[in-house]
Amino acid sequence: MCGIVGYTGSQSAIAPLIEGLRRLEYRGYDSAGIALGTPGKLFVQKRAGKLSNLESELIQTLPSATSGIGHTRWATHGGPTDRNAHPHLDNEGKLAVIHNGIIENYTELRAMLEARGHKFESETDTESVAHLLSDLRKTSHGDLAAAMREAVKSLRGSFTLVAIHADQPEVVVGVRRNSPLVVGLGVGENFMASDVAAFIDYTKRAVELGQNEVVTLTPTSVEITDLDGNAITPREYSITWDSSAAQKGGFSHFMLKEIFEQPKAVADTLIGRLSGSGDIVLDELTLSDNEIRELKKIVVLACGTAYHAGMIAKYAIEKWAKIPVEVELASEFRYRDPLIDSSTLVIAISQSGETMDTLMALRHAKANGARVLAVCNTNSSTIPREADAVLYTHAGPEIAVASTKAFLTQVIAVYLIGLHLARIRGVMDRSEVKAIFDELGELPAKIEQILETVEPLRALTRNYTNSTSVLFLGRNVGFPVALEGALKLKELAYMHAEGFAGGELKHGPIALIESGTPVIAILPAGHEHGLDEKMLSNIQEVKARGAHVIVIAQEGDEVPGAEHVIRIPKSLPLLQPILATVPLQVFAYEMAVARGNDVDQPRNLAKSVTVE
């Protein structure tokens, strides 16, 4: 959600702050602001709306400052106004705070602080922290880090906080609790941000921060402590991608670029995952073979697009490994007293590794004795750190809010998990595992083939720009694909879209069909259970009621009655989601462009949902 940047060094702070905020625009926001570390009284400027609104205000002569903090806000407490934008100040104008997350006890804090004489200027929960820090700094002999430690002890909720004070403008202090914050290590300068993308132009050296750890930056030092002031040794790691990966590279939108990066992302996620003897190699998987054999069930936890990857996991793992799989919305999981124990493996799927609903569900699962395996795209993020094991995908940075390549690599990851479980549990032998892995290895070239022939689909999409609703049909493993196609269209085109299991049409959804309604159907691969024939019957049912039918079908499959057929290469039936999803991504993208929407930053949405 909110984007956070902090800088202290020898150069002007404006460029690192503004460039950092621009790199974090993908997270979703509705206002932006900065505070510069000027002695005596901080310079603060903030504006509602896009970052360009703030930049236009900064054209005026700016004070010289070599430190500062910047923020893009996604509104929670208080509307998206100039007054509610971050940073927030104490009454002296000397201390500024930026914040990601929610302070749950802010009303009590505000009442206490107002009783002490503090005057509030905004409707936010964040401002209470600025006033609290101001008081605590005075009782901590001017030590901002000490004040931050004391403040955090009295705060409830999930948050990242970053603060600066005019009396020591070169010092930037931050803390995280259930919300992302990472440090960048430069030469004569240091950085703080909610995502490494903010400082990737300046350094590839980063330091991860744990729960309730307070970090103090100066141009030449990084100090980390726990809330009792005990020193913690920095845990440094290298960023493996460069700034070009976070640029559009000639594409009109990040989303389109990321759609076309999918062949490489899938290939990278598969690299090194099959040993010479035919076993799946999952280096980050610490579960022993005996533990895997003793599992009684698997529970997959995820939200949004990742939830659809989890649904595909159920089909693959149950078929290959013969173990029951439940798929749960992470946001609902811990509120129904789920039945899990030490014989349960929980698979938590999150692109960012910071999805708050999934993190809290993970903690609930661990508290009840389950082992947790994370599937994640972001190294050293919270969910992998708290899981018992992790399988990293290699999608690279995904900037567009609507997920594309992260989704495909999540599906690849759960396929690998399914094959590994099947091999260890003795359900499949090495030759069977290798045969399916070889089929996985052909998917990048097949995705490339789809993308090379995508222009007719883009032109076709524009015919439906004025439609009010689009329905998606799938069966078996095609059902989660239908749900994902509908979600993408909702996110990007701001139109009604629903995904249905084909067999459910006659149980209610067919009432939605009227003359001209676009219906996109995913024709099942192969002839298992006669599902292809059943879907063809579904197509005839909606056509008879006036629908315009677009069918995603394998090369060579007969599709009578469809107005349009989008061809994808042949694959194993369980692997079809990887290929069938790509045209649906393009359809949603093109529909959004045709309707004049902001493709990379859809309204009301954030890339990483870091609050419950």
Task: List the catalytic residues.
Answer: 2, 607
The four Cα atoms 437, 442, 446, 449 give a dihedral, to 10 degrees, of 160
In total, the chain counts a number of residues equal to 612
How far apart (Å, rounded) are the C-alpha atoms in residues 427 and 322? 7
Compute the distance between CA of residue 245 and CA of residue 377 in angstroms, rounded to an integer.
14
Instruction: Compute the distance between CA of residue 291 and CA of residue 344 in angstroms, rounded to an integer.
Output: 10
Closest CA to 132 of 161, 158, 169: 161
CA distance 543 to 520: 12
* Backbone CA torsion sign across 513, 518, 519, 523: positive
Classified as helix, coil or strand, 511 is: helix
**Contact indicator for 257, 249 with CB cutoff of 8 Å:** yes
CB 525 within 8 A of CB 481: no
Contact 564, 459 (CB under 8 A): no
To 5 degrees, how large is the angle CA 522–CA 263–CA 399? 95
DSSP string covering 100-166: EEEETTHHHHHHHHHHTT----SS-SHHHHHHHHHHHHHHTTT-HHHHHHHHHHT--EEEEEEEEET
Reading the block at residue 492, the tokens are 């990007």
Cβ distance 571 to 522 under 8 Å?
Answer: no
Kind of pairing, strands 31-36 and 88-89? unpaired
Helices 405-424 and 576-594, packing angle to 10 deg:
170
Contact 479, 499 (CB under 8 A): yes
Q: Which of 265, 352, 349 is nearest to 307 (CA)?
A: 349
CA distance 205 to 79: 37
- Alpha-carbon distance of 428 to 103, in angstroms, equals 50
Task: Give the burial class of 546: count Cβ atoms within 10 A of its Cβ; 0-12 exposed, 13-18 middle, 19 or more buried.
Answer: exposed
Show contacts of 85-88: CB within 8 Å, 24+ apart. 85/31, 85/32, 85/33, 85/46, 85/47, 85/48, 86/2, 86/31, 86/33, 86/46, 86/124, 86/126, 87/33, 87/34, 87/35, 87/44, 87/46, 88/121, 88/122, 88/124, 88/126, 88/127, 88/129, 88/130
Answer positive or negative: Cα dihedral of 483, 485, 486, 488. positive
Residue with tokens 């914040």: 99
Of 511, 499, 507, 509, which Cα lies nearest the Cα of 580? 499
355: how many CB neighbours lie within 10 A of its CB?
A: 29
